[in-house]
Protein backbone atom coordinates (compact mmCIF):
# COMPACT_ATOMS: atom_id res chain seq x y z
CA UNK A 1 0.00 0.00 0.00
CA UNK A 2 1.41 3.38 -0.99
CA UNK A 3 2.00 5.73 1.91
CA UNK A 4 1.17 9.40 1.74
CA UNK A 5 4.10 11.81 1.60
CA UNK A 6 4.85 13.47 4.95
CA UNK A 7 3.24 16.84 5.43
CA UNK A 8 5.73 19.69 5.72
CA UNK A 9 5.73 21.43 9.12
CA UNK A 10 7.49 24.54 7.83
CA UNK A 11 5.31 27.57 8.57
CA UNK A 12 4.19 29.66 5.64
CA UNK A 13 5.04 33.33 5.19
CA UNK A 14 1.52 34.34 6.22
CA UNK A 15 1.71 32.17 9.34
CA UNK A 16 5.01 33.74 10.35
CA UNK A 17 3.57 37.20 9.79
CA UNK A 18 0.50 36.42 11.92
CA UNK A 19 2.72 35.02 14.67
CA UNK A 20 4.90 38.14 14.61
CA UNK A 21 1.87 40.43 14.70
CA UNK A 22 0.36 38.47 17.57
CA UNK A 23 3.60 38.76 19.55
CA UNK A 24 3.74 42.52 18.92
CA UNK A 25 0.13 43.06 20.02
CA UNK A 26 0.59 40.84 23.07
CA UNK A 27 3.63 42.90 24.04
CA UNK A 28 1.68 46.16 23.67
CA UNK A 29 -1.15 44.85 25.84
CA UNK A 30 1.28 43.73 28.54
CA UNK A 31 3.22 47.02 28.55
CA UNK A 32 0.08 49.15 28.84
CA UNK A 33 -1.48 46.84 31.43
CA UNK A 34 1.67 46.85 33.55
CA UNK A 35 1.64 50.64 33.79
CA UNK A 36 -2.09 50.74 34.54
CA UNK A 37 -1.87 48.08 37.28
CA UNK A 38 0.90 49.99 39.04
CA UNK A 39 -0.72 53.41 38.56
CA UNK A 40 -4.37 52.59 39.26
CA UNK A 41 -4.20 49.42 41.34
CA UNK A 42 -5.08 45.87 40.42
CA UNK A 43 -8.75 45.97 41.34
CA UNK A 44 -9.43 49.18 39.38
CA UNK A 45 -8.10 47.88 36.06
CA UNK A 46 -10.08 45.60 33.78
CA UNK A 47 -9.47 44.22 30.31
CA UNK A 48 -12.19 46.57 29.05
CA UNK A 49 -10.28 49.57 30.41
CA UNK A 50 -7.04 48.36 28.86
CA UNK A 51 -8.60 48.00 25.40
CA UNK A 52 -9.05 51.72 24.53
CA UNK A 53 -5.53 52.47 25.78
CA UNK A 54 -4.16 50.38 22.89
CA UNK A 55 -6.99 51.35 20.53
CA UNK A 56 -8.53 47.89 20.49
CA UNK A 57 -12.01 46.64 21.23
CA UNK A 58 -12.60 44.61 24.43
CA UNK A 59 -13.45 41.60 22.31
CA UNK A 60 -10.07 41.82 20.60
CA UNK A 61 -8.26 41.82 23.96
CA UNK A 62 -9.94 38.55 24.91
CA UNK A 63 -8.42 36.91 21.85
CA UNK A 64 -5.02 37.30 23.51
CA UNK A 65 -5.83 36.90 27.21
CA UNK A 66 -8.85 35.03 28.56
CA UNK A 67 -8.86 36.90 31.88
CA UNK A 68 -7.09 39.59 33.86
CA UNK A 69 -5.46 36.87 35.94
CA UNK A 70 -3.93 35.34 32.80
CA UNK A 71 -2.64 38.75 31.74
CA UNK A 72 -0.95 39.49 35.08
CA UNK A 73 0.63 36.04 35.19
CA UNK A 74 2.02 36.53 31.68
CA UNK A 75 3.50 39.89 32.68
CA UNK A 76 5.01 38.38 35.80
CA UNK A 77 6.60 35.46 33.94
CA UNK A 78 8.14 37.75 31.30
CA UNK A 79 9.61 40.11 33.89
CA UNK A 80 10.93 37.20 35.95
CA UNK A 81 12.88 35.78 33.03
CA UNK A 82 14.47 39.12 32.12
CA UNK A 83 15.58 39.88 35.66
CA UNK A 84 16.71 36.34 36.41
CA UNK A 85 18.92 36.26 33.30
CA UNK A 86 20.75 39.37 34.53
CA UNK A 87 21.29 37.89 37.99
CA UNK A 88 22.41 34.45 36.83
CA UNK A 89 24.91 35.98 34.41
CA UNK A 90 26.83 37.14 37.49
CA UNK A 91 27.22 33.51 38.62
CA UNK A 92 30.05 33.17 36.09
CA UNK A 93 32.30 35.21 38.41
CA UNK A 94 34.56 32.91 40.44
CA UNK A 95 35.18 35.29 43.35
CA UNK A 96 32.12 35.07 45.66
CA UNK A 97 32.66 38.61 46.99
CA UNK A 98 32.71 40.09 43.48
CA UNK A 99 29.77 37.89 42.54
CA UNK A 100 27.66 39.21 45.43
CA UNK A 101 28.41 42.82 44.52
CA UNK A 102 27.64 42.34 40.83
CA UNK A 103 24.45 40.39 41.57
CA UNK A 104 23.32 43.25 43.80
CA UNK A 105 24.31 45.80 41.16
CA UNK A 106 22.45 43.99 38.36
CA UNK A 107 19.38 43.60 40.57
CA UNK A 108 19.44 47.24 41.68
CA UNK A 109 20.03 48.67 38.22
CA UNK A 110 17.18 46.62 36.79
CA UNK A 111 14.82 47.68 39.56
CA UNK A 112 15.62 51.38 39.26
CA UNK A 113 15.48 51.31 35.45
CA UNK A 114 12.13 49.46 35.50
CA UNK A 115 10.27 50.79 38.56
CA UNK A 116 6.82 49.72 37.33
CA UNK A 117 8.10 46.25 36.49
CA UNK A 118 9.79 45.96 39.89
CA UNK A 119 6.76 47.01 41.91
CA UNK A 120 4.45 44.70 39.99
CA UNK A 121 6.94 41.83 40.21
CA UNK A 122 7.82 42.09 43.89
CA UNK A 123 4.38 43.10 45.14
CA UNK A 124 2.14 41.15 42.73
CA UNK A 125 -1.60 41.92 42.91
CA UNK A 126 -2.63 38.28 42.81
CA UNK A 127 -5.94 38.81 44.61
CA UNK A 128 -7.25 35.50 43.30
CA UNK A 129 -4.36 33.60 44.91
CA UNK A 130 -5.17 35.14 48.29
CA UNK A 131 -8.76 34.01 47.89
CA UNK A 132 -7.88 30.48 46.81
CA UNK A 133 -4.79 29.75 48.91
CA UNK A 134 -4.01 29.42 52.58
CA UNK A 135 -0.81 31.04 53.91
CA UNK A 136 0.80 27.61 54.06
CA UNK A 137 0.15 27.05 50.35
CA UNK A 138 1.61 30.35 49.16
CA UNK A 139 5.23 30.21 47.99
CA UNK A 140 7.64 32.91 46.80
CA UNK A 141 7.55 33.85 43.13
CA UNK A 142 9.99 31.81 40.97
CA UNK A 143 12.25 34.83 40.52
CA UNK A 144 12.66 35.11 44.29
CA UNK A 145 13.23 31.40 44.72
CA UNK A 146 16.03 31.29 42.13
CA UNK A 147 17.57 34.68 42.91
CA UNK A 148 17.60 34.06 46.65
CA UNK A 149 18.93 30.57 46.01
CA UNK A 150 21.83 32.03 44.04
CA UNK A 151 22.42 34.61 46.77
CA UNK A 152 22.41 31.93 49.49
CA UNK A 153 24.82 29.64 47.63
CA UNK A 154 27.23 32.52 46.97
CA UNK A 155 27.21 33.57 50.64
CA UNK A 156 27.68 29.96 51.71
CA UNK A 157 30.65 29.60 49.37
CA UNK A 158 32.20 32.80 50.75
CA UNK A 159 31.80 31.57 54.33
CA UNK A 160 33.35 28.19 53.47
CA UNK A 161 36.31 29.96 51.84
CA UNK A 162 36.86 32.06 54.94
CA UNK A 163 35.98 35.38 53.29
CA UNK A 164 33.51 36.39 56.02
CA UNK A 165 34.10 37.48 59.59
CA UNK A 166 34.17 34.39 61.83
CA UNK A 167 31.09 35.45 63.78
CA UNK A 168 28.93 35.18 60.65
CA UNK A 169 28.51 31.43 60.18
CA UNK A 170 24.86 31.26 59.11
CA UNK A 171 24.52 31.83 55.33
CA UNK A 172 20.74 32.17 55.67
CA UNK A 173 21.07 35.09 58.08
CA UNK A 174 23.69 36.86 55.95
CA UNK A 175 21.76 36.32 52.71
CA UNK A 176 18.51 37.57 54.26
CA UNK A 177 20.26 40.68 55.59
CA UNK A 178 21.84 41.46 52.21
CA UNK A 179 18.49 40.91 50.45
CA UNK A 180 16.72 43.26 52.87
CA UNK A 181 19.35 45.95 52.31
CA UNK A 182 19.33 45.96 48.51
CA UNK A 183 15.54 45.61 48.29
CA UNK A 184 15.12 48.52 50.69
CA UNK A 185 17.47 50.77 48.74
CA UNK A 186 15.60 50.07 45.50
CA UNK A 187 12.17 50.62 47.04
CA UNK A 188 13.24 53.93 48.56
CA UNK A 189 14.66 55.09 45.23
CA UNK A 190 11.58 54.30 43.18
CA UNK A 191 8.88 55.33 45.67
CA UNK A 192 10.20 58.39 47.50
CA UNK A 193 10.01 61.93 46.15
CA UNK A 194 12.44 64.77 46.86
CA UNK A 195 10.32 66.12 49.73
CA UNK A 196 10.34 62.75 51.47
CA UNK A 197 14.07 62.27 50.88
CA UNK A 198 14.77 65.70 52.34
CA UNK A 199 13.51 64.52 55.74
CA UNK A 200 16.24 61.87 56.07
CA UNK A 201 18.90 62.60 53.44
CA UNK A 202 20.16 64.97 50.79
CA UNK A 203 17.63 64.53 47.94
CA UNK A 204 20.34 65.30 45.37
CA UNK A 205 22.55 62.32 46.28
CA UNK A 206 22.54 59.83 43.42
CA UNK A 207 21.40 56.24 43.58
CA UNK A 208 24.94 55.14 42.70
CA UNK A 209 26.21 56.89 45.82
CA UNK A 210 23.69 55.04 47.96
CA UNK A 211 24.57 51.74 46.32
CA UNK A 212 28.28 52.27 46.97
CA UNK A 213 27.52 53.10 50.60
CA UNK A 214 25.53 49.87 50.90
CA UNK A 215 28.48 48.01 49.38
CA UNK A 216 30.85 49.53 51.93
CA UNK A 217 28.52 48.64 54.81
CA UNK A 218 28.47 45.05 53.53
CA UNK A 219 32.26 44.94 53.19
CA UNK A 220 33.02 46.58 56.54
CA UNK A 221 30.42 44.62 58.47
CA UNK A 222 30.52 41.10 57.06
CA UNK A 223 33.84 40.47 55.36
CA UNK A 224 37.02 39.43 57.11
CA UNK A 225 39.10 41.86 55.06
CA UNK A 226 36.97 44.89 54.17
CA UNK A 227 37.61 46.29 50.73
CA UNK A 228 39.15 49.79 50.49
CA UNK A 229 36.56 52.55 50.71
CA UNK A 230 35.32 53.63 47.31
CA UNK A 231 34.84 57.35 46.94
CA UNK A 232 31.38 57.90 45.41
CA UNK A 233 31.29 59.60 42.06
CA UNK A 234 28.87 62.26 40.89
CA UNK A 235 28.15 63.37 44.46
CA UNK A 236 25.17 65.68 44.43
CA UNK A 237 23.85 64.70 41.01
CA UNK A 238 20.71 62.66 40.57
CA UNK A 239 21.12 59.32 38.82
CA UNK A 240 19.41 59.01 35.47
CA UNK A 241 16.43 56.69 35.21
In this prediction, residue 143 carries a pLDDT of: 64
Among 52-56, 68-72, 209-213, 226-230, name the one with the lowest average pLDDT.
Answer: 226-230
Burial of 25 per CB tally in 10 Å (0-12, 13-18, 19+): middle
Identify the band that residue 122 occupies on the pLDDT scale cut at 50, 70 and 90.
low
The rounded distance, in Å, linking the Cα atoms of 16 and 10 is 10
The rounded distance, in Å, linking the Cα atoms of 87 and 81 is 10
CATH numbers and ranges of domains, the chain: 12-66 (1.10.10.60), 76-241 (1.10.357.10)
The answer, yes or no, to whether residue 235 has pLDDT greater than 50, is: no
| Residue range 206-230, pLDDT digits in tens | 888 888 988 898 888 888 865 544 4
The rounded distance, in Å, linking the Cα atoms of 199 and 93 is 39
Prediction pTM value: 0.67
Amino acid sequence: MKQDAPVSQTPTVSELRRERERAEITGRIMDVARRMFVRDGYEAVTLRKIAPAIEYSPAAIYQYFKSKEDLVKAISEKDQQELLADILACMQLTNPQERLVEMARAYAQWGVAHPNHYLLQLVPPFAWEKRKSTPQQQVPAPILQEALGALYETVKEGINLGRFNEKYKDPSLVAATLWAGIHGVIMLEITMGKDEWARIDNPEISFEDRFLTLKEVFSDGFLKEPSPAVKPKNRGRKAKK
